[in-house]
Amino acid sequence: MIDIHSHFLPRISRAEAHAVHAERAPWLTIDAGGKTGQIMLGDKPFRPVHDELWDADARVRGLDAAGIGLQIVCATPVMFGYAWEAAQAADWAAQMNEKAAQFCAGHPSRLRWLSQVPLQDTRLACAEAQRAMGQGAVGVQIGNHMGAKDLDHPDLVDFLIFCAGHAIPVFVHPWDMMGGPERMKQWMLPWLVAMPAETQLGMLSLILSGALERIPATLKICFAHGGGSFAYTLGRVDNAWKHRDIVRKDCPNPPSSYAHRLHTDSAVFDPGALKLLTEVMGVERVMLGTDAPFPLGEQQPGALVKSCGFLGAQGQQRILQDNARRFFGLMA
């Protein structure tokens, strides 16, 4: 199996983080036993974590236990640095990409990595994405928006056009979630409600804006968490396109006709959801993604795909590894 969606956060010291941004740069505190720790933002705990997040040897032991042959790792979104000055974010991205390369270096046949980029500056983002590919990255991870700029913004479209032209696969992950603390107040609602909505927003902004008419069809772009609520609500979007001119004014074709331009991972956790996802996207555009090593990820990697007989052996093989090999250009 190939897992295309997992995260890491390297051993960043408090001093390293505070030198970049005293309040917003993440760092890691590790408990005495070395197995658990805490992501910190400034001096505030952000998330409890365990050693597979920062220890590559522990990660590979987990892969062995799960039967995963290869895993692609990318930054935990709190590492993005999108709120900082562009030059500062560019330097941080380069440092984090070096740490990602180091994380994978001891297990090159088991771990590969996606870069992060300073998305607030298109020129710097393109340069870092290309530099990282030369250092061994297999693609780039970006957030689904940059401040008020959604994926249809000219700056982000230019970045995607660059990636298409330079054969850089793109993985899109939600990060700064809508709703605010007043409405998303507890029960992990930001992760359960806002994340799927943010992902759908990114996908629809590309479609309804007409951006996919301008971006070369060579772009390989994949959205996390099964594309959020995209597959479930695409019928509603098509209906709106048919009956409201303000929906179709920039989108010359039915929204569903663009689904073949996009990919998703398989992190939907339900057979019915996976059936709908593969019907909407096509089984050839869904790839195994576990969201490891976090509790909201798939705890038995590949179990959902393997349990879905409607996929057939060939469909399961595609999702579990063949699609990922094609998307990221991985050797068999």
Is residue 62 assigned to a domain? yes
Q: Strand 170-173 relative to strand 221-223: parallel, antiparallel, unpaired?
A: parallel
Residue 57: CA atoms inside 13 Å, Cβ hemisphere, count? Answer: 2
Is residue 47 assigned to a domain? no
Cα angle: 65, vertex 319, 174; to 5 degrees: 85
Is residue 32 assigned to a domain? no
Is residue 36 assigned to a domain? no
Cα 110 to Cα 89: distance, rounded to the nearest angstrom: 29
Cα 128 to Cα 123: distance, rounded to the nearest angstrom: 9
Q: Which residue has the tokens 């298109």?
A: 122
Amino acid occupying residue 56: A
pLDDT in tens, 122-166: 999 999 999 999 999 999 999 999 999 999 999 999 999 999 999
Which domain CATH number covers 302? 3.20.20.140
Is residue 65 assigned to a domain? yes
Domain count of the fold of the chain: 1
Please compute the mean of the pLDDT values over residues 282-309 and round it to a whole number: 96
Cα 246 to Cα 237: distance, rounded to the nearest angstrom: 12
Would you give the distance in Å from CA 158 to the centre of its chain? 19
Please compute the mean of the pLDDT values over residues 266-279 and round it to a whole number: 98
Sign of the torsion formed by the C-alpha atoms of 82, 85, 90 and 91: negative
Angle between helices 230-243 and 195-208 (to 10 degrees): 40
Please compute the mean of the pLDDT values over residues 303-324 and round it to a whole number: 98
Q: How confident is the model at residue 178 (pLDDT cuts 50, 70, 90)?
A: confident
pLDDT in tens, 69-122: 999 999 999 999 999 999 999 999 999 999 999 999 999 999 999 999 999 999
Judged on CB neighbours under 10 Å (0-12, 13-18, 19+), 17 is buried
Which pLDDT score, from 0 to 100, does residue 332 have?
62
Which pLDDT score, from 0 to 100, does residue 331 have?
78
Is residue 35 assigned to a domain? no
**Could you tell me the end-to-end alpha-carbon distance of the chain, in angstroms, rounded to an integer?**
11
State which residues form the domain around 225.
2-8+56-328
Cα 326 to Cα 329: distance, rounded to the nearest angstrom: 5
Average pLDDT over the chain reads 95
How is residue 83 written in tokens? 């709120």
Cα 71 to Cα 130: distance, rounded to the nearest angstrom: 21
CA-nearest of 295, 229, 292 to 264 is 229
The proportion of the chain whose per-residue pLDDT surpasses 70, expressed as a percent, equals 100
Which pLDDT score, from 0 to 100, does residue 261 have?
98
How is residue 43 written in tokens? 């001096």
Residue 328: CA atoms inside 13 Å, Cβ hemisphere, count? Answer: 31
Cα 62 to Cα 68: distance, rounded to the nearest angstrom: 9
Is residue 188 assigned to a domain? yes
pLDDT in tens, 93-104: 999 999 999 999
Residue 2 to residues 31, 60, 197, 274, 309, Cα–Cα distance (Å): 31, 13, 26, 18, 20
Cα 255 to Cα 165: distance, rounded to the nearest angstrom: 24
Residue 63 to residues 107, 186, 292, 295, 311, Cα–Cα distance (Å): 11, 32, 10, 16, 24
DSSP assignment of 110-161: TEEE-B---TTSHHHHHHHHHHHHHTT---EEEESEETTEETTSHHHHHHHH
The phi and psi torsions of 207 (rounded to 5 degrees) equal -80, -55
Is residue 23 assigned to a domain? no
Specify the range with the lowest mean pLDDT, choosing from 189-198, 215-224, 248-257.
189-198
With a cut of 70, say whether residue 310 has pLDDT above it: yes
